[in-house]
Chain A
Amino acid sequence: MKKKRLIIRSVILLVMLLAIGNAFYNHFSAERGIVDEGDIAPNFVLEDLDGNRLELEQLRGKGVYLHFWATYCTYCRQKMQYLRDHYEEYQAKGVEIVAVNVAESQLQVERHLERFDINYGLYLDKDSLVTNAYGVVSLPTAFLIDEDGRVIEREIGAKTEKQVLASLNKLVPGN
C-alpha cells in the first residue's frame, strides 16, 4: 500500500518533471537548425560571379566547407581571410570551400573579392533561397560537409584561425 503510493507519486512527479524539462530544454537550448549535424546536406545550385554553376552534389568525395557570409559581417571577413590563407593547402588535401553570399549585390561581392584577394569560389544567393533552406539566421554560419555529403558540424559565429584550421582538418577525406 505504502509502496504503491510511493510508486504513484514518483511516476506523477517524473511525468511532470519530464514535460517541464522538455519544454525548458526546447526554450533555452540553441535551436536545432533546419539542417544540422547528421543530416544529408540539401543539394543546391548557385552561380559564381562569372555565372559558373556549382552543384553541391558534384563535390561528393571532397570535404566541403560551406560558408554563409555577407560583406557587412565583420567576423565573416576575418574567417574568409583565414580560409584564403589556407585554401590552397587544403584544396590539395581534397577540401573545397564554398562561400555563399547572402542576398547582396554582385557589385559588393566583386569588390569584396578584389579587396581581400579571395582565391576560392564566391557564390551568390540573391534571393536567400539556399540560405533559407539551410536555416541560416545569423552570420557567419558554416556547415562542415564530409565526403559523403553528410553534415558533421554546424558552426555559428566568430572563429579564430585555429578553430577554422581544426574545422578544415576534420573535412580532409579519410580523417
Chain B
Amino acid sequence: MEKVKCDCGHVNPYGTYLCESCGKPLIEDKGTVADMRYEGVARRSQTYSKTIIDKIWNFFSSVKVGIWIIILLLLASALGSLLPQEMYLPRGEQAITYYEEYYGFFGKLFYQLGFHNLYTSWWYLLLIAALGISLVICSLDRVVPLYRALKTQRVTRHEGFLKRQRLIAKTDKLEDAQQEIAKAEKILLAKKYQIRKENGNLLAEKGRFSRWGPYINHVGLIIFLIGAMLRFFPEMYIDDNIWVRDGEVAVIKGTDGEFFLRNNGFTVELYDEDEELYREAMERTGSPAVKSYETAATLLKRSNTGTIGVDTELEEVKDHVIRVNDPLTFEGYSLYQVDYKLNELAEFTFVLEAADEHADQSELADIRFTVDLYDPQTVYEFDNGFRIDILEYFPNFIINDDREPSTMNRIPDNPRLIFAVFTPEMDPEKDTGELSLVGIQVNEPLNGENDYIIRMVDVKMKNVTALTVRKDRTIPILIVGGLIFMVGLVQGSYWHHRRIWLQDRNGEIWVAAHANKNWYGLKKDLQAVAAGSKIPVPTDQKESEEAEQTRKVKEEGVTEDDGRTEQ
C-alpha cells in the first residue's frame, strides 16, 4: 500500500484522513467540519485486507460487528430467562417432562431447542468468545494509531485542519499578535492547560489521558471475561451440592475423595404460628416460615496412612456450625447451608400378630424388631423359636421395565420389604415361610393367606441437610477486572480532552478548538480567553450548520443527517 506524504513532510499510512503531524486533510470530503474520530488516523484494518488473517482481523475490528455481537448476546440472555434454566427446576423434576407439563407447547419448544441450558450452550459461549475477541481487536486497532497520532501531533497545524474544526475564528491583522497570544497563554495556564509553543504558535491541551479511558475500560472487561472463562476449570471453580443425613458421613464433592463431612445434627427452627406478631404474615404466606436452620458439622480428612477401603481412617479436622451465610471453609472450599429435607425414613419397628383376632397372642408378645433402612439385617431370630427373614429390600420401590420389583436408588423414600415368617415348627432351610410385602400403608400376603401379620408400630426419621460446595478462585480476577473497568469508565467520563490551537498567521490570530466531549466547558474556556485578550470567541460551525439545516428543513422539508458520534 502507498504511504501518503503530506506537504509538511510527514509520511502517513495509507488511509489517513488528517495528516498525523500537521492535520492537513489528505482525503477531500464534503462538509465544513472535519471528522476528528481517532484523530483522523488510518485504522489499518479498514484499509488492508489481504490474507485470511487480515480478513478475520478486520471482521472483528469493526465496531458494527461488535455491537451486533452485544445485541445478539442480549437477546439470547433475555431468551434464556423466559423460563427457568434446568439447574433451577424444583428438586426431582425432569427437564424432559417439566417444560411441556408446565408451559405447554412453548415449554416443549424451549426444551427441544436446548434453551434449558442456554448459558452453557456452545453457541452462547461462542458469542461470549466472539465478544472477547472483538474487544481485544477493536481496542488494539484503535488505541495504537490514536496513541501515535496524539504523541506526534505538532503545534503548528495546517490551515485546512484549522478551518475545518468545529470551533474556529480569526482576528484581523494585529500589531501585537504575539502579546495577545501571551495573554491567552497565561489565562490557559491558570486553567491548568498544558502549553506547547512553536514558531509563535501555541497548542493548549488538557485531559488527554481521558482518551485512554475506553481502552482501559476494555482491558478491565477482557480480564473479567478471562476470569469467567477460568470457571470452566475445576481447579479454579467448583459449585456442587451434597446431602448428608444426621449422624452420617459423606464425601465432599470436588475434593477427589479427600475430605468428608459428618453431620452431627441438623436443626430447623420455624416461626411460631401462634405468636401475635407473626400471625398476619403467616396467614398471608400460608406455609410455615423458617426462622433459622443450621448444621452442626465436622470436617474430616482421609488420613494418608493405610490403604483406602475398610482400613481407611478419617481424621477430624474441625467442627463448625454451618448456617446461612456462615459457611464452613477450608483450603479454598466453602460449604454453605442451602436446603434440607426433614423426616427421611430411617428405621421401621415391627411386631408380629396373629391374623385370627381370637387366637392367643401371648406367645408373640416378645416379637418386636427394628429394621435399619440403611443396613437391614438378613435374619431376625427370637427366643420363642420364631424367625423372620428379609428376602428382599427395596429402599425406593418401583416396578422396573422388566416388570420386576426393584428400587429406584438407595434413598429410603418408599421402602418395601419382603418378609418370610417361620414359626417354630417350620424349617427355614426347607419351608418357604409366610411371605408378605410390607411398606408404608402396604401389607400384602404373597403366598396365600397368612396366619401372622407383620405390623409396623414405630417409624424413626432423620433429617438431611443440603450443603453447597463452592470453590471459586476466580473472584480476585473478577474484582481486579471490575476495578480496572471502573477506572477506565471514570477516566473517560469525568475528564475531557480539550485542545486549543492559537496560530499567528502574518499577524492574524487564528483560534481553533476541539473537545471530544463537553463542548460547553471548552467554550467557557474560550470565553475566558476572549475576555482577557483580543482573541474572539470562535463560532460553532456545527451549530450554524444545524441552524442552516433546520432552516432548510422548514423551507423544503428534507433533512440530511449523519448521526455520528465521536470517540
Extra inter-chain contacts (4) besides given A9-B57, A13-B53, A107-B376, CB under 8 Å: A20-B129, A27-B125, A46-B310, A127-B249
B501-535 near A? 1/0 per residue, CB < 8 Å: 00000000000000000000000000000000000
Interface residues of B (CB under 8 A from A): 1, 44, 48, 51, 53-54, 56-57, 120, 122, 125, 129, 132-133, 136-137, 140, 226, 229-230, 232-234, 249, 251, 256-257, 302, 307-312, 374-378, 390-393, 396, 400-401, 406-410
For A54, give the chain B residue with the smallest CB separation: B309
Please tell me if the beta carbons of A129 and B257 are within 8 angstroms of each other in the complex: yes
Chain A interface secondary structure, helix, strand, loop or mixed? helix
Chain A nearest CB, measured from B3 CB (Å): 10
Please tell me if the beta carbons of A23 and B309 are within 8 angstroms of each other in the complex: no
Alpha-carbon separation in the docked complex, A23 to B233 (Å) = 8
- Which of A13, A47, A107 has the most chain B CB within a 10 Å cutoff? A107
Q: Is A70 an interface residue (CB 8 A)?
A: yes
Alpha-carbon separation in the docked complex, A24 to B56 (Å) = 20
Interface residues of A (CB under 8 A from B): 2, 5-6, 9-10, 12-13, 16, 19-20, 23-24, 26-28, 31, 34, 42-47, 53, 55, 70-72, 74, 103-108, 110-111, 125-130, 132-133, 135
Closest 4 A/B residue pairs (Cβ): A132-B257, A45-B309, A44-B309, A133-B257
By a CB distance below 8 angstroms, the chain A residues around B400 are 74
A20 CB contact (under 8 Å) in B48, B229, B311, B407: B229
By a CB distance below 8 angstroms, the chain A residues around B44 are 5
Chain B nearest CB, measured from A162 CB (Å): 21
Please tell me if the beta carbons of A106 and B378 are within 8 angstroms of each other in the complex: yes
Alpha-carbon separation in the docked complex, A110 to B378 (Å) = 9
Alpha-carbon separation in the docked complex, A18 to B345 (Å) = 51
By a CB distance below 8 angstroms, the chain B residues around A19 are 226, 229
By a CB distance below 8 angstroms, the chain A residues around B302 are 129
B310 CB contact (under 8 Å) in A47, A105, A107: A47
Please tell me if the beta carbons of B125 and A9 are within 8 angstroms of each other in the complex: no
Q: List 20 A-B contacts (CB under 8 A).
A: A6-B51, A13-B56, A13-B133, A16-B132, A16-B133, A19-B229, A20-B229, A23-B230, A23-B233, A24-B122, A26-B232, A70-B410, A71-B406, A74-B401, A105-B374, A107-B378, A125-B309, A129-B308, A132-B256, A135-B257
Please tell me if the beta carbons of B125 and A108 are within 8 angstroms of each other in the complex: no
A6 CB contact (under 8 Å) in B53, B257, B393: B53
Please tell me if the beta carbons of B57 and A105 are within 8 angstroms of each other in the complex: no
Alpha-carbon separation in the docked complex, A45 to B307 (Å) = 6
Chain A nearest CB, measured from B395 CB (Å): 8
For A132, give the chain B residue with the smallest CB separation: B257
For A128, give the chain B residue with the smallest CB separation: B251
Chain B nearest CB, measured from A101 CB (Å): 10
Given contacts A72-B410, A127-B249, contact A105 B232 (CB under 8 A): no
Please tell me if the beta carbons of A12 and B136 are within 8 angstroms of each other in the complex: yes
Please tell me if the beta carbons of A44 and B57 are within 8 angstroms of each other in the complex: no
By a CB distance below 8 angstroms, the chain A residues around B53 are 6, 9-10, 13
Please tell me if the beta carbons of A107 and B229 are within 8 angstroms of each other in the complex: no
Alpha-carbon separation in the docked complex, A70 to B411 (Å) = 12
A34 CB contact (under 8 Å) in B233, B257, B378: B257
By a CB distance below 8 angstroms, the chain B residues around A9 are 53-54, 57
Please tell me if the beta carbons of A13 and B57 are within 8 angstroms of each other in the complex: yes
For A51, give the chain B residue with the smallest CB separation: B310
Please tell me if the beta carbons of B229 and A133 are within 8 angstroms of each other in the complex: no
For A57, give the chain B residue with the smallest CB separation: B307
By a CB distance below 8 angstroms, the chain A residues around B51 are 6
Chain B nearest CB, measured from A69 CB (Å): 12
For B389, give the chain A residue with the smallest CB separation: A107
For A108, give the chain B residue with the smallest CB separation: B393
Given contacts A72-B407, A105-B375, contact A130 B57 (CB under 8 A): no
By a CB distance below 8 angstroms, the chain A residues around B48 are 2
Alpha-carbon separation in the docked complex, A12 to B407 (Å) = 56
Please tell me if the beta carbons of A132 and B251 are within 8 angstroms of each other in the complex: yes
By a CB distance below 8 angstroms, the chain A residues around B234 are 31
Please tell me if the beta carbons of B122 and A28 are within 8 angstroms of each other in the complex: yes
Alpha-carbon separation in the docked complex, A1 to B227 (Å) = 34
Please tell me if the beta carbons of B391 and A111 are within 8 angstroms of each other in the complex: yes
B140 CB contact (under 8 Å) in A12, A55, A107, A132: A12
Chain B nearest CB, measured from A81 CB (Å): 12
By a CB distance below 8 angstroms, the chain A residues around B57 are 9, 13
Alpha-carbon separation in the docked complex, A26 to B251 (Å) = 24
For B411, give the chain A residue with the smallest CB separation: A72
Chain A nearest CB, measured from B61 CB (Å): 10
Alpha-carbon separation in the docked complex, A44 to B311 (Å) = 9
By a CB distance below 8 angstroms, the chain A residues around B312 are 127, 129
Alpha-carbon separation in the docked complex, A6 to B132 (Å) = 20
Chain A nearest CB, measured from B192 CB (Å): 38
Please tell me if the beta carbons of B132 and A42 are within 8 angstroms of each other in the complex: no
Please tell me if the beta carbons of B393 and A72 are within 8 angstroms of each other in the complex: no
Alpha-carbon separation in the docked complex, A2 to B48 (Å) = 10
Please tell me if the beta carbons of A44 and B308 are within 8 angstroms of each other in the complex: yes
For B44, give the chain A residue with the smallest CB separation: A5
Given contacts A26-B232, A27-B120, contact A111 B393 (CB under 8 A): yes
For B372, give the chain A residue with the smallest CB separation: A105
Given contacts A107-B378, A129-B257, contact A71 B407 (CB under 8 A): yes
Please tell me if the beta carbons of A107 and B120 are within 8 angstroms of each other in the complex: no
Alpha-carbon separation in the docked complex, A107 to B395 (Å) = 12
By a CB distance below 8 angstroms, the chain B residues around A135 are 256-257
Alpha-carbon separation in the docked complex, A125 to B396 (Å) = 20
Chain B nearest CB, measured from A32 CB (Å): 10
